Amino acid sequence: MSEETLIKYLEFLKTECLRHSNDKLVNENEIQLFKLEVNKFISLFQNSKFEHSIKEKVQNIHFDFSIPKYKGTNLLSYIIDDSWTNSRRREEIMSKKFIRISEEIGNSILEIKATI
């Protein structure tokens, strides 16, 4: 992987994060698809030879896909028969995580471009 390919791949991952979080809800399928892309990127990146400073910047990106867990259902939504549930809350939280990840990727891109 060249430095140019690294930057393009990071920009792609950033765009994917923003695309998935665009509707403010990130469901399980979107998380799994993005995980596949991240795992593919990480395997390509690990097989590449970059300066230590560049590797460190990429490795500092925190790809956090842990899904918050809630027990039970939202009592108020059950009583008023609203569609808001704990799964919807998880999707909202994951959307915020994806936005955070895209910001980290964006910062890393700028730092890598400054290093090159």
Amino acid identity of 77? S
Query: Of 94 and 74, which is predicted with more confidence?
Result: 94
Q: What is the average pLDDT value for the chain, to the nearest integer?
A: 83
Q: Which bin fits 59, alpha (ψ -120 to 50), beta or left (φ > 0)?
A: alpha
Average pLDDT over residues 43-59: 90
Query: Of 47 and 92, which is predicted with more confidence?
Result: 47
| pLDDT number for residue 74 | 55
Reported as a pLDDT band with limits 50, 70 and 90, residue 75 is low
**Which pTM does this prediction carry?**
0.80
CB-count exposure of residue 104 (10 Å: 0-12, 13-18, 19+):
middle
Q: Domain containing 17: what range?
A: 3-115
In total, how many domains does the chain have?
A: 1
d(CA 85, CA 96): 17
d(CA 78, CA 91): 18
For residue 40, pLDDT beyond 90:
yes
**Strand runs labelled E in 15-113:** none
